[in-house]
Amino acid sequence: MDYGYQGKVAVITGGSSGIGLATVRFLLEQGAKVAFCARNEGRLDDVRRVLARDHDDDRILTQALSVLDPEAVGAFADAVRDRWGSCDLLVNNAGQGRVSTFADTTDADWREEYELKLFSQIHPIRAFLPLLRESHGSIVAVNSLLAYQPEPHMVCTSSARAGVQNMLKSLSLELAPEVRVNSVLLGLIESGQWTRRFAEREDQSQSRAEWYGNLAAKKGIPLGRLGDPTEAAAAIAFLGSRAASYITGAQLDVSGGLARHI
């Protein structure tokens, strides 16, 4: 399907791994110019080298930064403006979940989690908004089903994610009609954070297939498996594209049927 990304400019935060990287690849394959950031410069450079084997290096821009550093994010937006002069899509994907119950979440943990979840949206949106307005572009936030379906063992990340959805709804009104704002609500996607949890599994004799199979069964995922990052990327690309031109303030759940709310 042609999403209309040929020659368009897309920015993805947290593009060096997992869902962000799958989105970078998807958009490059669709002909977009893609800028992406992450903190670890070495991994960013490695990923860029691999991507440049299949795609023109002129269509790739990378910058090492934390989305929690507003000046660095501002400089990233300047670099995109200097290189390509526009931004049609911002995908706010950088981040990770926090596993903790109320009993073992300190005040510092709560603050850190709220800072990560909210400011990983606020800083890039503020920095790229002038370009997005000029292009009549769109924003896609990568969020979790936990926003609507909280889990006690992920109490603070669930709560912060609900706050993000609330903020995005307000933004979809404030930024209309120039800029569309949507989100994907992910269930369990087989990427970075699950790879790390698999590596730290209690029973090291369990194979990858067994561990992921048991996880899907334990969570009761109707489609019987975790999602692939490419499946999350396809949903992100759809919401950001002209195919979704009459959709704003919406969330698309990508959870293999795990969502229980109506």
Helix (H) or strand (E) holding 183: strand 180-186
- Residue 224: φ, ψ to 5°: 75, 15
CB nearer ligand NDP, residue 96 or residue 106:
96
Distance of CA 6 to the CA centre of its chain: 21
Instruction: Please give the single-letter amino acid code of residue 47.
Output: V
Alpha-carbon span 5 to 86, nearest angstrom: 13
First-to-last CA distance in the chain? 29
CA torsion through residues 152, 39, 118, 172, sign = negative
Structure tokens at 63: 């910058």
Q: Whole-number minimum distance, CB 2 to ligand NDP, in Å?
A: 26
Interacting residue with ligand NDP among 3, 12, 16, 76 (CB under 6 A): 16
DSSP characters for 5-60? -TT-EEEEESTTSHHHHHHHHHHHHTT-EEEEEES-HHHHHHHHHHHHHHS-GGGE
CA–CA–CA angle 147, 152, 153 (5° rounding): 100
User: Based on the number of CB atoms within 10 Å of its own CB, is 202 exposed (0-12), middle (13-18) or buried (19 or more)?
Assistant: exposed
Interacting residue with ligand NDP among 3, 10, 11, 14 (CB under 6 A): 14
Q: For residues 74-103, which are near ligand NDP according to CB under 6 A?
A: 93-97
Interacting residue with ligand NDP among 18, 124, 137, 256 (CB under 6 A): 18
Binding flags for ligand NDP, 142-161, as an x/- string (CB under 6 A): x-x-----------------
CB nearer ligand NDP, residue 31 or residue 212:
212
Binding flags for ligand NDP, 201-240, as an x/- string (CB under 6 A): ----------------------------------------
Interacting residue with ligand NDP among 28, 34, 140, 189 (CB under 6 A): 189
Q: Whole-number minimum distance, CB 21 to ligand NDP, in Å?
A: 7
Applying CB under 6 A, does 162 fall inside the site for ligand NDP?
A: no
Give the binding range for ligand NDP (CB under 6 A) out of 38-46, 105-113, 126-134, 207-215. Answer: 38-46
Interacting residue with ligand NDP among 31, 74, 163, 192 (CB under 6 A): 192
Q: For residues 104-133, which are near ligand NDP according to CB under 6 A?
A: none
CB nearer ligand NDP, residue 114 or residue 134:
114
For the stretch 217-256, what's the b/e string if a residue is b when 16 or more beta carbons lie within 10 angstroms of its beta carbon? eeeebeeeebbebebbbbbbbbbbbeebeeebbbbbbbbb
Q: Whole-number minimum distance, CB 37 to ligand NDP, in Å?
A: 6
Q: Which residues bind ligand NDP (CB under 6 A)?
A: 13-20, 37-40, 43, 66-68, 93-97, 142, 144, 186, 188-189, 191-194
